[in-house]
Structure 1
């Protein structure tokens, strides 16, 4: 698929078929992330592939934190619960970690975000669907400990599978709305 077509076709997929993602495709996704640029070539990311019970346990842990307090977050009510349900529907979850070093936090976070976007774009190229899950962060310490990675920070996750939906493009701001001009 042409790169521009991949970008145009990328959607957040929240419903998946039951078909498992083949190991060679999982390997390709990780290679795309591994080859991503990073600030000072730090390559601050680490990834864990989760399926089945391990993946569902992570979703359950998210639900536990969600059930304790049903609060509004950035204008959205109970997004953690909704994200956990998406994880349960997906055949595959890639948990994304990084080492926390305060002086590098911002550049490492940007670099890790770029690696996640590489994964999401390669999903489109491979005929897969994905959605970037930021809500995993709300219970990240407990989930990191459960996964044996409590020395790392769980930054995000990506739910992946074969799409069972074809969402329409979401509205996007125009070029004029996002381009700034220097004020004199």
Structure 2
């Protein structure tokens, strides 16, 4: 598929078929991320590919957040409940981690974001769907302890599978609304 078409076809997929993802395709996704540029070539990303029970345990940790709070959680946290259910239906969950280093936070997070987008675009090219997930951040400590890496920062996660939906493109601002023009002081 041509790059422009891959970019146009990329969507956040929230419904997946139960079909397993071939190992060769998972390797291609990680390779796409590995080849991504990074600030000062730090390559700060670490990936963990999870399936089956361990993947579902991550979702359960996210759901426990709601059981352990008697008070109402802020609205944006409530999306974690829906995201946890999506994780359970996705055949694969990739956790994206990094070694925490305050001096490199901005560069590392920008680099990791680019690596995640490489995975998302490669997924489209391979006939897969993906969902870039931020909601794992609310239960980061519990998740990193479960997977055996409490010293790492859980930056994000990616749900992957063959799409069981084909959503329409979300509205986008026109280019004119995005471009700033130099203002002399």
Shorter-normalised TM range: over 0.9
1:128 aligns with 2:137: no
1:59 aligns with 2:59: yes
Partner in structure 1 of residue 103 of structure 2: 103
TM-score normalized with structure 1 length: 0.96
In the alignment, is the contact (CA less than 8 A) between 2:77 and 2:135 conserved in 1? Answer: no
Deviation per CA, 1:126-161: give whole Å up to 9, x if none.
Answer: 000000010001100110010011111111000000
Partner in structure 2 of residue 151 of structure 1: 151
Q: Choose which of 57, 73, 78 in structure 2 pairs with 1:71.
A: 73
CA distance in 2 between partners of 1:67 and 1:79 (Å): 15
SS of residue matched to 1:176 = helix
1:22 aligns with 2:22: yes
SS of residue matched to 2:14 = coil
In the alignment, is the contact (CA less than 8 A) between 1:66 and 1:80 conserved in 2? Answer: no
> Would you say how many aligned residue pairs link Structure 1 and Structure 2?
182
Structure 1: which 5+ runs fail to align? none
TM-score normalized with structure 2 length: 0.96
Partner in structure 1 of residue 34 of structure 2: 34
Structure 1 residue 68: Cα displacement = 3.0
In the alignment, is the contact (CA less than 8 A) between 2:77 and 2:138 conserved in 1? Answer: no
Structure 2: which 5+ runs fail to align? none
Structure 1 residue 7: Cα displacement = 0.1
Deviation per CA, 1:15-57: give whole Å up to 9, x if none.
Answer: 0001000000000000000110000000001000000000000
Structure 1 residue 77: Cα displacement = 6.1
Structure 1 residue 183: Cα displacement = 1.6
SS of residue matched to 1:173 = coil
